[in-house]
């Protein structure tokens, strides 16, 4: 069995937007040693060679700060009038299945991925999408991961393409760009220029009427074949949360 990691490391990055910066405090082994002595265990009774345990504290990390899966609750409080699922309520059956890579690496920055783009790729490669698959959109923009350009460059999904995937029976999909839609600043600029209230976050907003989850900030999609593998994407079980970090992997038997 071969496993390919599709998740980026959780670490501090000075180029992340302020609202997504991760801060971790690492505690040395000797700190626990001092704690044990404080609790009453003399150093002479420590196991041979034991200095205490290392420990770490995540001081700050938003649930969207790294490779993560968004729950329906992220997009909207209700889906077709019913309460949207939070991340701890996502059925685990959605989170494991046959994977398929849709290669959209040719798309220019700020040019949204359309239904026609996806259908043309599938026809060219003689591939098909089946219900329950986990669809991975490969844009190649993970090369910017960790740089100041990452949030502001790239292609992204259109509303129509997102809805089309859902209509094929897809509950979980993901992308290696910073976000699922076109870059946030670009969308804000275009919405203001066109005075079009339907433009901003159009792919996310599909979740108001059709239930689905998507992953953002995947890596290594370019190293995968288009099919022939499983995908596992199990989020941390954070009660009531809109998303959660996930260790996303591709599994080859």
Q: What is the pLDDT of residues 215-236, one digit of tens each?
A: 999 999 999 999 999 999 999 9
Residue 28 has pLDDT above 80, yes or no: yes
- 167 falls within a domain: yes
Res 232: pLDDT:
98
Q: Which residues of 150-189 are buried (b: 16+ CB within 10 A; e: fewer)?
A: bbbbbbbbbbbbbbbbbeeebbbbbbbbbbbbbbbebbee
Query: Cα–Cα distance between 238 and 21 in angstroms, integer?
Result: 19
Res 4: pLDDT:
98
190 shares a domain with 153: yes
69 shares a domain with 41: no
Res 178: pLDDT:
97
> CATH number for the domain including 187?
3.50.30.50
Res 33: pLDDT:
74
Please give the residue range of the domain that contains residue 83: 5-9+63-252
Query: Cα–Cα distance between 109 and 154 in angstroms, integer?
Result: 4
- 16 falls within a domain: no
- Point out which residues pair with 213 in neighbouring strands: 172
- 237 falls within a domain: yes
Residue 32 has pLDDT above 80, yes or no: no
Average per-residue pLDDT for the chain: 94
- 184 falls within a domain: yes
φ, ψ of residue 36 in degrees (nearest 5): -60, -40
Query: Cα–Cα distance between 158 and 131 in angstroms, integer?
Result: 20
- 18 falls within a domain: no
133 shares a domain with 44: no
Between 165 and 30, the higher pLDDT residue? 165
162 shares a domain with 56: no
Q: Which of 30-39, 134-143, 194-203, 234-243 has the lowest mean pLDDT?
A: 30-39
Answer for the pair 190, 199: CB distance below 8 angstroms, yes or no: yes
Query: Cα–Cα distance between 102 and 238 in angstroms, integer?
Result: 30
Here the tokens at position 239 are 């009660």
97 shares a domain with 34: no
Res 247: pLDDT:
97
Please name the residues in contact with 220: beta carbons below 8 A apart, sequence gap of 6 or more.
4, 5, 6, 142
215 shares a domain with 136: yes
Whole-model pTM: value is 0.94
Res 115: pLDDT:
98
Residue 45 has pLDDT above 90, yes or no: no
Q: How many domains does the chain have?
A: 2
124 shares a domain with 30: no
76 shares a domain with 184: yes
What three-state secondary structure class fits 211?
coil
- 165 falls within a domain: yes
Q: Which residues of 61-95 are buried (b: 16+ CB within 10 A; e: fewer)?
A: bbbbbbbbbbbbbbbbeebeeeebbbbeebeeebb
Please name the residues in contact with 38: beta carbons below 8 A apart, sequence gap of 6 or more.
none
Residue 68: pLDDT band with limits 50, 70, 90: very high
145 shares a domain with 52: no
pLDDT tens-digit profile of 84-138?
Answer: 999 999 999 999 999 999 999 999 999 999 999 999 999 999 999 999 999 999 9
Residue 35 has pLDDT above 80, yes or no: no
232 shares a domain with 216: yes
């Amino acid at each position: 069995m071969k496993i390919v990691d599709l998740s980026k490391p959780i670490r501090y990055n000075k180029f992340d937007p302020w609202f997504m910066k991760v801060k971790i405090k690492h505690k040395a082994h000797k700190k626990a040693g001092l704690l044990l002595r404080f609790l009453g265990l003399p150093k002479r009774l420590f196991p041979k060679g034991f200095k205490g345990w290392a420990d770490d504290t995540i001081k700050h990390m938003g649930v969207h700060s790294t490779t993560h899966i968004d729950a329906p609750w992220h997009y909207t409080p209700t889906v077709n009038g019913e309460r949207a699922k939070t991340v701890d309520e996502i059925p685990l059956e959605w989170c494991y299945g046959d994977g398929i890579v849709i290669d959209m690496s040719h798309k220019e920055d700020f040019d949204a991925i359309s239904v026609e783009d996806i259908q043309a790729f599938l026809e060219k490669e003689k591939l098909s999408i089946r219900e329950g698959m986990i669809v991975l959109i490969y844009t190649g923009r993970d090369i910017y991961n960790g740089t100041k350009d990452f949030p502001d460059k790239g292609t992204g999904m259109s509303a129509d393409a997102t809805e089309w995937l859902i209509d094929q029976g897809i509950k979980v999909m993901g992308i290696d760009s910073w976000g699922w839609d076109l870059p946030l600043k670009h969308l804000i600029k275009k919405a203001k220029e066109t005075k079009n209230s339907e433009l901003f976050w159009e792919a996310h907003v599909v979740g108001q009427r059709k239930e689905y989850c998507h992953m953002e900030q995947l890596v290594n999609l370019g190293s995968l074949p288009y099919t022939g593998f499983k995908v596992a994407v199990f989020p941390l079980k954070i009660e009531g949360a809109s998303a959660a970090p996930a260790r996303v992997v591709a599994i080859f038997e």
